Every structure is written in structure tokens, then in C-alpha cells.
């Protein structure tokens, strides 16, 4: 049975789904509903059935799956209404505004026997998949630290993303992607979360945050998102007991550096810094280091819709599972709490 997709919220991301979802075999985009009449007309001009009323949209029997791409504060009500109308439900990230809201969506989906998933599309990002593969293959040995960061330079956040009551701010916007990636890569349990949120240029929402997750195997993962960083740091830094991995950008440029056999033959020399000597931080000479390419990966975002299609047909299990979405949200809630309390939160 092909997916007949109806889109709720035909804004930036609604249009993106229209353009891209139909590249997947067995996925047709057929309709859109938006509270903004102008956006409904845009959808009609793009060849969709355009609806001004949610009720009328949900009564359209051709639609068997709904994609919700509205501001975050209305995701839950729209998801529950869609499930109650018997539609499969795909919600944009962040799925909702609280764990209670997520539970309500899951309950409605289970009661109506429909599929519910979340568009955690950054599981298919190339940079992430290179890191995941290198970590899983043990290419830098046992990993003790992962730093995942996005540094933007724009500074100002616009529209509903700049309003707390709409679910604005970077922890919900980008934090949800970066936490999801870490939990998708590291199977261990998170035992502690510490976070600090800042409003650097935008007074109502967080536009810079740092978040530390401690895993039960000792691994420490740091996520840093900044909207006003004029000299950006690399996208990923990963430290293992056999080497170091750096990914510079979303395209996945970067390398792995390891010591070679010559390492034993060189004694670190004492280096004089401006105001004192150090041996511990003396740089290793180039001859003792080997540079390796990051592993090749073949990650195609269209797998997301193909998986939803196959799950609806009973031929596959969801890749983005509701219980994974809840785990990510438990970290977000702990991060908000940690920031408020000014101390780490045990999970
Ligand atoms: P947007 O402001 O461009 O579009 C939102 C649209 O929703 C607008 O057309 C608005 O009129 C409509 N809308 C608002 N309230 C509505 C309601 N109650 N019912 C129906 N329509 C309503 O926002 P956007 O950038 O497209 O973001 C939408 C969602 O997509 C957000 O949840 C955001 O976090 C997510 N998003 C995800 C990604 C990703 O890569 N996964 C990227 C961007 C945005």
C-alpha cells in the first residue's frame, strides 16, 4: 500500500517534505492543511489538494499518513487528532513539548493501531555516519570522549523559534538532533546530565548551550550548539585510547590520527611556553603519526520514508522508534532541569 501523505503546516519544512518524500518509491504527497491561507494557496499551486480546515483535511480518505511540520507547541494536538482519524503519523522534531505529550501521542497511536514515528533525519547525515562507523569498528580504540558541535554565525533566531511558548530555542531545535545521534551511536545508558543554557543575542530562548552526558561505561559526550560563533570549531572531536578523530563539517571531511611504530623511539622534549616549561604537552613529531581517511559510508535519507512505508506494510520495524524518541526527550528534560538547578542531574 503506497503512502498517501497529507502535510500539516506547509511552511519551510512542509515544502521540503513535499519535494523530497515523493522521490521515494511508493510515497505520494497528496494534500496539505495550513492555518495560513497564503500557504494553502502555495500548496495548491504546487499541485496538492489544499485545506483550510483540519476537520476537512482529516476526513480526506485518500490520506493514509500525516506529516506534521508546524511549530512545536501544536505537534501533540495535531498528532493525536491525526491518529484518532486513523492516519499514520510522522511528526517533525522535536516531537512535542514534554514527556507527557509524547505519552499522549503514543497512546493515541496504539489505540488506533497506526504507525507513529519522528523525523530524526540527521541519523542519515554523512558526518555522523562516518563517526558512528569509526567508533563501532574501534578505529581509535576505546572511545572516552565525544564532542559534537554546531557553530553558526547568524546569531539572531527568527519567528516562532524565538518564542519560548512555541517550543523555541536551540536545545529543542538542534539539541534534539545531536542527542538523538549520540544515543543512536552509543548503546550504553546515560547516568548523568549537566547543561548550561545561554541567551547571548536572543533574550527569550537559548541560543547557545553546552550539555554533558555521562554513560555507564565511563564515556563522556559533550554537545555544544552556538548560533553566534564567528570562528567555528570542527563538527566532531572524538578521543580514543588508540587515536583521535576529527570531522570538520557536514560533508564529513576530516581524518583519524594514530601513532605508528616510531612513537617508541622518540622521547618527548620539554617545550618552553611563554611563562613556563611543559613536557606533557610537547607536540609529537610528524614522523610518529599516521593519518587515515575516515571510513566510507553510504547513508541515504530516503531510507526514512522507505522504512515508514515498509513498516506500514508490516514488512519492517521502525528505524526511529517511539521509545528512542522518549529516551532523547528524557535527556532534554534533564538538561533543562540541570540548567535551572545549576548542577548535574542523575538519571
Ligand atoms: P515554518 O514557520 O516555516 O512553517 C510552519 C508552518 O506551520 C507555517 O506555514 C504555519 O502557518 C503553519 N502552522 C502553524 N500553526 C499551525 C497549525 N496549528 N495548524 C496548521 N498549520 C500551522 O516552520 P518550519 O521551519 O517549517 O518548522 C516546522 C517544523 O519542522 C518544526 O517542528 C521544526 O522543528 C521542524 N524542522 C525540522 C527540520 C529537520 O531537519 N528535521 C528542519 C527545519 C524544521
Report pLDDT digits (tens) over 115-132.
Answer: 999 999 999 999 999 999
Residue 86 Cα, ligand 1 centroid: separation in angstroms?
22
Q: For residues 57 and 63, is the Cβ–Cβ distance under 8 A?
A: yes
- Which residues form the domain of 175? 123-252+294-299+330-346
**Together in a domain, 185 and 334:** yes
Q: Give yes or no: residues 155 and 169 share one domain.
A: yes
Question: If you measure from the C-alpha of residue 79 to the centroid of ligand 1, how many angstroms do you get, rounded to a whole number?
Answer: 14
What are the phi and psi torsion angles at 230 (to 5°)? -85, -5
In the reported structure, the alpha carbon of residue 93 is separated from the centroid of ligand 1 by a whole-number distance in angstroms of: 10
How far is CA 109 from each of CA 74, 78, 83, 104, 304, rounded to the nearest angstrom? 17, 12, 5, 9, 19
Task: Kindly state whether residue 335 falls inside one of the protein's structural domains.
Answer: yes
Residues 19 and 100 in one domain: yes
If one counts every other C-beta atom within 10 angstroms of the C-beta of residue 67, the result is 27
Q: Which one of 11, 21, 120 would you pick to mutate in the ligand 1 pocket, going by the greatest count of ligand atoms within 8 A of its CB?
A: 11
Is 286 within a domain?
A: no
Specify whether 114 is located in the same domain as 175: no
Boundary-marking domain end, from 66, 95, 119 = 119
Atom of ligand 1 nearest to the CA of 39: 9
Ligand 1 pocket, mutate which of 33, 40, 67, 69 (most atoms under 8 A from CB): 69
Q: Are residues 105 and 127 in the same domain?
A: no
For residue 67, report the distance from its CA to the centre of ligand 1, in Å.
11
Q: What is the CATH number of the domain that holds 101?
A: 3.40.50.720
Q: What are phi and psi of 98, to 5 degrees?
A: -165, 165
Whether this model's ipTM surpasses 0.90 comes out as yes
The verdict on 176 and 243 lying in the same domain is yes
Atom of ligand 1 nearest to the CA of 74: 18
CA of 302 to the centre of ligand 1 (A): 20
List the chain residues with pLDDT less than 50: none
pLDDT at 319: 98
Looking at residue 266, what is its pLDDT?
Answer: 87
- Do 45 and 135 belong together in one domain? no
Does residue 158 share a domain with residue 94? Answer: no
Q: What are 158-187's pLDDT values in tens digits?
A: 999 999 999 999 999 999 999 999 999 999
Identify whether residues 97 and 131 lie together within a single domain: no
DSSP character at residue 326: H
The answer on 10 and 114 residing in a single domain is yes
**43 inside domain:** yes
CA of 70 to the centre of ligand 1 (A): 3
Q: How far is the CA of 68 from the centre of ligand 1 (A)?
A: 8
Give pLDDT, residue 268: 81
Which conformational region is residue 119 in: left (phi greater than 0), alpha (psi within -120 to 50 degrees), or beta? Answer: beta
pLDDT for res 1:
79
Structural domains of the chain, count: 2
Note whether 107 and 182 are same-domain residues: no
CA of 111 to the centre of ligand 1 (A): 26
Give the residue, out of 56, 57, 70, with the most ligand 1 atoms within 8 A of its beta carbon, to mutate for a pocket test.
Answer: 70
| Residues at CB less than 6 angstroms from ligand 1 | 8-14, 33-36, 39, 69-72, 74, 92-93, 119, 121, 159-160, 173
The Cα–Cα gap between 177 and 155 comes to: 19
Same domain (yes/no): 127, 237? yes
Amino acid at each position: 500500500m503506497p503512502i498517501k501523505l497529507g502535510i500539516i503546516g506547509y511552511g519551510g519544512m512542509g515544502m521540503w517534505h513535499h519535494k523530497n518524500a515523493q522521490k521515494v518509491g511508493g510515497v505520494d504527497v497528496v494534500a496539505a492543511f495550513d492555518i495560513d491561507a497564503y500557504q494553502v494557496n502555495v500548496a495548491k499551486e504546487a499541485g496538492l489538494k489544499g485545506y483550510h480546515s483540519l476537520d476537512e483535511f482529516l476526513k480526506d480518505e485518500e490520506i493514509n499518513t500525516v506529516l506534521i511540520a508546524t511549530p512545536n507547541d501544536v505537534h501533540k494536538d495535531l498528532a493525536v487528532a491525526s491518529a484518532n482519524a486513523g492516519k499514520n503519523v510522522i511528526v517533525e522534531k522535536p516531537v512535542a513539548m514534554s514527556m507527557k505529550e509524547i505519552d499522549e501521542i503514543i497512546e493515541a497511536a496504539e489505540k488506533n493501531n497506526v504507525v507513529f514515528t519522528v523525523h530524526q533525519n540527521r541519523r542519515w547525515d554523512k558526518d555522523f555516519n562516518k563517526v558512528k562507523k569509526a567508533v563501532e569498528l574501534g578505529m581509535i580504540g576505546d572511545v572516552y570522549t565525544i564532542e559534537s558541535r554546531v557553530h553558526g554565525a547568524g546569531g539572531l533566531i527568527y519567528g516562532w523559534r524565538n518564542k519560548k511558548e512555541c517550543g523555541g530555542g536551540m536545545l529543542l531545535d538542534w539539541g534534539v538532533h545531536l542527542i538523538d545521534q549520540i544515543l543512536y551511536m552509543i548503546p550504553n545508558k546515560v547516568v548523568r546530565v549537566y547543561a548550561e543554557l545561554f541567551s547571548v543575542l536572543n533574550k527569550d530562548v537559548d541560543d547557545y548551550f553546552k550539555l554533558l552526558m555521562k554513560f555507564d561505561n565511563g564515556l563522556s559526550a559533550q554537545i555544544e550548539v552556538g548560533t553566534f560563533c564567528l570562528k567555528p570549531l570542527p563538527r566532531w572531536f572524538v578521543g580514543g585510547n588508540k587515536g583521535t578523530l576529527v570531522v570538520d563539517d557536514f560533508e564529513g571531511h576530516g581524518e583519524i590520527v594514530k601513532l605508528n611504530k616510531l612513537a617508541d623511539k622518540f622521547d618527548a622534549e620539554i617545550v618552553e611556553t611563554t611563562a613556563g616549561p611543559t613536557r606533557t604537552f610537547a607536540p609529537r613529531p610528524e614522523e610518529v603519526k599516521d593519518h587515515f581517511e575516515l571510513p566510507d559510508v553510504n547513508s541515504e535519507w530516503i531510507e526514512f520514508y522507505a522504512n515508514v512505508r515498509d513498516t506500514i506494510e508490516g514488512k519492517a520495524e521502525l528505524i526511529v522508534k517511539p521509545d528512542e524518541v522518549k529516551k532523547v526527550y528524557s535527556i532534554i528534560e534533564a538538561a533543562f532541569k540541570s540548567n535551572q538547578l545549576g548542577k548535574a542531574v542523575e538519571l
